[in-house]
Amino acid sequence: MAEICCGLVNESEASPPCESSSRSARRRRLEIRRIKFVPGVTPLEAENGVKRPRFELCSAGSIPRLCDNAVDSCDGSEAEVAVESGHRKILLPAGLPKYGMASVCGRRRDMEDAVAVHPWFCRMDRENNNELHYFAVYDGHGCSHVAMKCKERLHELVKEELEKKEASADWKQAMEQSFSRMDKEAIAWNESVVRGSCRCELQTPECDAVGSTAVVAIVTPDKIIVANCGDSRAVLCRNGKAIPLSNDHKPDRPDELNRIQEAGGRVIYWEGPRVLGVLSMSRAIGDNYLKPYVICEPEVTITDRTPEDDCLILGSDGLWDVVSNDTACGVARMCLNGKRRRPSSPEKDVGVDNSDKVCSDASMLLTKLALARRSSDNVSVVVVDLKKAT
């Protein structure tokens, strides 16, 4: 947290006119006061004369819609969260993967990102306790309601598709079907939206120009399944090296460009490549007015986990536009390793993890790095510690 010096005194506190020429008088007129500066606070956000910080703590697995910025973390045994009435503790079952997430509005006027974390959202093999953990980042455009619908529903659709398979899951088919169902639900909901029922700025009652990217990671004891639709991204940090688990769907990507042109669409360069000169991504959930050029079919990757895996990073393009994969992995790994090795007291051995918010610190550090590099978009980051996940 940085500190700046500012502040003025009123006329009654100023020095008499006879001292106007002295250096001490000028100092008294312009009194310098030290105050703490919280990133993201603007004068317009002052309530009752008190500035409200834009970073707020939220309970595990939850980011309120009205919260411009949110931070969440879990250490796998016990997490402490801040609420308006004070501090309380919630107990979480043992074995929960350690994760942290940060979501900030940044320099955008509205917050259109959404983050979803659902530990143990599905069990594939009840005999072997093959638990599945769900992590996702949704980056909305046009308005936030499609991203919020994905946050509320997509994990449930994925669970339904997976439960149809009794023994083993066909991950590609399950994820593609889930995204297709989510797309249909989002479009149907858009068509039923009444003008003024949300903060969508479109002038048409059918919010056809609203959509969202989706990058979903399902962590199992031995695999990481990533389904990506849009330009959000998943990156695995393995033995200090960045391994991309998704490929951004940009309109100028050769295969995407060919697909769009074969469907009769065009890619127009307007402050970058855009589908019909409008959308800067070639795949998304929603955006009915751009179909069939913009599709909702995700690309699915399945990666075997190894003991060398450090962490998994999910992020919206607000992060990846200004931070490279290698830099993000280096920052997260440095943060995680530093906290693991730092003893909280002389009696404790070096190498013991003494931080309850290791991943939260890593996600927040990446968010602050993106803002420091002048990211112009919302920034959402999820960091999952694969050393502890089961």
The pLDDT-based confidence of 198 (bands split at 50, 70, 90) is low
Phi, psi of 227 (to 5 degrees): -120, 125
Question: What pLDDT digit, counting tens, does each position of 315-324 carry?
Answer: 999 999 999 9
Lowest mean pLDDT among 162-166, 250-254, 286-290: 162-166
Question: For residue 200, what pLDDT is reported?
Answer: 61
User: What is the spatial distance between Cα 162 and Cα 174, in angstroms, rounded to a whole number?
Assistant: 6
User: What is the spatial distance between Cα 245 and Cα 384, in angstroms, rounded to a whole number?
Assistant: 14
Closest CA to 136 of 295, 315, 346, 331: 315
Q: Which helix (H) or strand (E) holds 102?
A: strand 99-104
The pLDDT-based confidence of 362 (bands split at 50, 70, 90) is very high
User: What is the spatial distance between Cα 52 and Cα 59, in angstroms, rounded to a whole number?
Assistant: 19
Question: What pLDDT digit, counting tens, does each position of 88-144 carry?
Answer: 333 444 556 789 999 999 989 899 999 999 998 887 665 456 789 999 999 999 889
| Domain extent listing, the chain | 3-37, 54-244+306-385
Token look-up 């090296």 returns 241
Question: For residue 34, what pLDDT is reported?
Answer: 40
Token look-up 């994969």 returns 325
The pLDDT-based confidence of 260 (bands split at 50, 70, 90) is very high
Q: Where are the alpha helices (DSSP H) in 86-210?
A: 145-163, 171-191
Token look-up 């500012």 returns 6
Question: For residue 346, what pLDDT is reported?
Answer: 43
- Pair of tokens at residue 255: 């295969």
User: What is the spatial distance between Cα 286 and Cα 209, in angstroms, rounded to a whole number?
Assistant: 8
**pLDDT for residue 14 is more than 50:** no
Homologous superfamily (CATH) for 54-244+306-385: PPM-type phosphatase domain (3.60.40.10)
Which of the pair, 263 or 208, is modelled with greater confidence? 263
SS3 of 31, please? coil
- Where residue 61 falls (left for φ over 0; alpha for ψ -120 to 50; beta otherwise) is left
Question: For residue 192, what pLDDT is reported?
Answer: 65
The pLDDT-based confidence of 176 (bands split at 50, 70, 90) is very high
Q: How many Cβ atoms are within 10 Å of 329's Cβ, its own excluded?
A: 24
Any residues with CB less than 8 A from the CB of 270 and at least 6 apart, and which? 277
- Tell me the whole-structure pTM to 2 decimals: 0.74
Q: Which amino acid type is present at position 75?
A: D
Q: Dihedral, CA atoms, 67, 69, 71, 72, nearest 10 degrees?
A: 40
